Amino acid sequence: MQTLTKPAELQNKRDREPRWRPSLRIRFALQAKRWFPILAQVTTVVISLAALYVIQKQAWIYEDQRKLMSETKTVMAEQTEIIRIAQRSSVGVAGVTAELKERQVILMLENVGHIPADNIKVQVWEARRTMGKNSPGSITYIEGQRLFPGSLKMQVVVPLGEFKTTEISDITAKKEKLYIMGTVAYEDGFGSQKTDFGFEYRPPPNEGWTVRSELIIRR
């Protein structure tokens, strides 16, 4: 006669039987398969961030180099300009002498620069002023001269026109004022330059000339 197994006994028998478990290699393979997409995404993000950092770092380096080059160019340009100015010619009035009896004024031009001044053009205007009124004067032109640097000076004779004896006496007595003003234009290889000047005659006993920089020829 066949013996029937009760359900409870069958369940107990199943519980006592050892269960099958996958091997460690299989479990690792399953875990790896599960985590691989996540790790791949994380790796992609990390690589992207690293690439972004490298690009930003290169941009910073490029910007620093650009600033350094710009500053270097500025310094070089300033040094070049300083050298250019230092080496240029510089012509101005070194002295003024009034020879009223001879009815003329002598200007002495001097080049205190380092290279010759070419094609010098001098324009001098003589003017007088009596009791607030300006008297018409004369204009003297000299051009085409060359002046080397050093102790050598260039003389410019400014005739005082038809000065009368009474006019000379009025100037000496400070009743009339005498002005000399003008422009010295010249070239030196670096370009054109110009020097404006203006002087007021100071009669005896302290004879001389007073610089009046505001006096220029109105053109």
156 alpha-carbon distance from chain centroid: 36
Give me the DSSP letters along 1-62.
-PPPPPHHHHHHHHHHSPPP---HHHHHHHHHHHHHHHHHHHHHHHHHHHHHHHHHHHHHHH
Q: Do 123 and 198 share a domain, yes or no?
A: yes
Parallel, antiparallel or unpaired: strands 153-159 and 208-211: unpaired
For residue 34, being part of any structural domain is answered with: yes
pLDDT at 219: 47
Q: Are 185 and 194 in contact (CB under 8 A)?
A: yes
Task: Look at the block and give the residue holding tokens 């009760």.
Answer: 6
Query: How far is Cα 99 from Cα 157, in angstroms, rounded to an integer?
Result: 10
* CATH number of the domain bearing residue 163: 2.60.40
Nearest CA among 159, 153, 142 for reference residue 91: 153
Query: How far is Cα 176 from Cα 199, in angstroms, rounded to an integer?
Result: 14
Give the residue numbers spanning the domain of 127.
91-211
The residue out of 87, 116, 131 marking a domain boundary is 87
pLDDT averaged per 10 residues, the chain (length 219): 54 57 64 68 79 81 78 63 72 92 92 91 87 69 87 89 83 90 90 91 91 67
The residue out of 34, 57, 87 marking a domain boundary is 87
131: left (phi over 0), alpha (psi -120 to 50) or beta: left
Q: Do 201 and 99 share a domain, yes or no?
A: yes
pLDDT at 183: 93
Q: Do 77 and 95 share a domain, yes or no?
A: no
Q: Do 57 and 152 share a domain, yes or no?
A: no
pLDDT at 94: 92
For residue 7, being part of any structural domain is answered with: no
Give me the DSSP letters along 104-157.
EEEEEEEE-SSS-EEEEEEEEEEEEEETTEEEEEEEEEEEEEEE-SSS-EEEEE
Q: Are 179 and 135 in contact (CB under 8 A)?
A: no
For residue 11, being part of any structural domain is answered with: no
Domain count, the chain: 2
pLDDT at 52: 80
Q: Do 61 and 169 share a domain, yes or no?
A: no
pLDDT at 21: 62
Q: Do 67 and 153 share a domain, yes or no?
A: no
For residue 13, being part of any structural domain is answered with: no
The residue out of 87, 108, 130 marking a domain boundary is 87
